[in-house]
Amino acid sequence: MKKLRFEYRMTITFDQPVTDHRFTVKCVPETTERQRICDLEIRVLPDHSLSGGRDSFGNRYIYGNSPDPGDRFEIYMRGQADTGLSCMETAEAEHRLGRYRYATSYTRPGESILAYHKELRELLADKTDNYDKCVTIMHELYRMMTYQPGVTTLKTTAEEAFGQRKGVCQDYAHIMITLCHMENIPARYVVGMLIGEGASHAWVEIYDKGGWYGFDPTNDTIVEADHIKISNGRDYRDCLINQGVFVGNAKQTQKIQVLVEEIQQ
């Protein structure tokens, strides 16, 4: 177990003032079997009257409306997390896992992944459960891919990223989910924070024997105490941190800054 201190800041700047900015923000970590969140503080600027709810995947979101003209929107969150409390999260009833078995537009295999999967199946032939299969998938994906920012976008699919063997955490997660689906393993996309300084991070959870287990293919590691989970879904779109509409003809720039550090006891 580790005790982590985290700070999360998302800033959106507009190149000219906008009005009636309606937003939905999905960046709030919650207590689960794997992590305990405490001393959570959330601030939104300009100061808003906020409401909240949950989406169909169980993720907590915050929404609000800023009617006055403005050229900047910011959400700041900080708190502490006890992590590594369990190796898994208990899954919902197995008959409800269907949405995590099938491809989306991000995780639909093409020629490159289909060809690679034929090779991969030889390595998986002696694996008897989903967990062991996914350990192999993660190791092989890490070996095949090169982490390189700037060569993919938020719209890049698993097939497109794998075709060039380069990408970032979003791409690694989409590719691993695609390969898991091809092995009939329920798998879902996860957004969260990783110990260190940078931006938000993405990884994968797979279903095995009644639980969800975390795999971080970008770093070739099992998710344990260095990760703080925020949300999960079928792919990147289900875990969008910010969605909104506004009145105005402005271009927007989004920046996310994350700091996670261990509290020495």
Which of 70, 29, 45 is CA-nearest to residue 194?
29
pLDDT tens, 48-68? Answer: 778 889 999 999 998 888 888
pLDDT tens, 157-184? Answer: 999 999 999 999 999 999 999 999 999 9
28 φ/ψ angles, rounded to the nearest 5 degrees:
-105, 115
Q: How confident is the model at residue 205 (pLDDT cuts 50, 70, 90)?
A: very high
Spatial separation of the C-alpha atoms in residues 265 and 251, rounded to whole Å: 45
Spatial separation of the C-alpha atoms in residues 106 and 85, rounded to whole Å: 31
Please state the domain extents for the chain: 2-84+241-262, 89-236
Q: pTM, whole model, 2 decimals?
A: 0.95
pLDDT at site 226: 97
Domain 2-84+241-262, CATH 3.40.50.300 — does that match? Answer: no
Spatial separation of the C-alpha atoms in residues 91 and 124, rounded to whole Å: 24
Spatial separation of the C-alpha atoms in residues 76 and 256, rounded to whole Å: 10
Give start and end residues of each alpha helix (H) in the chain.
111-124, 130-144, 158-164, 169-182
Does residue 47 register a pLDDT over 80? no
The whole-angstrom distance between residue 104's C-alpha and the CA centroid of its chain comes to: 16
Domain 89-236 belongs to what topology? C8orf32 fold (3.10.620)
Rounded to the nearest 10 degrees, how much is the dihedral formed by the CA atoms of 138, 141, 145, 148?
-30
Q: Burial letters for 50-63: b for 16+ Cβ neighbours within 10 Å, e otherwise?
A: eeeeeeebebbbbb
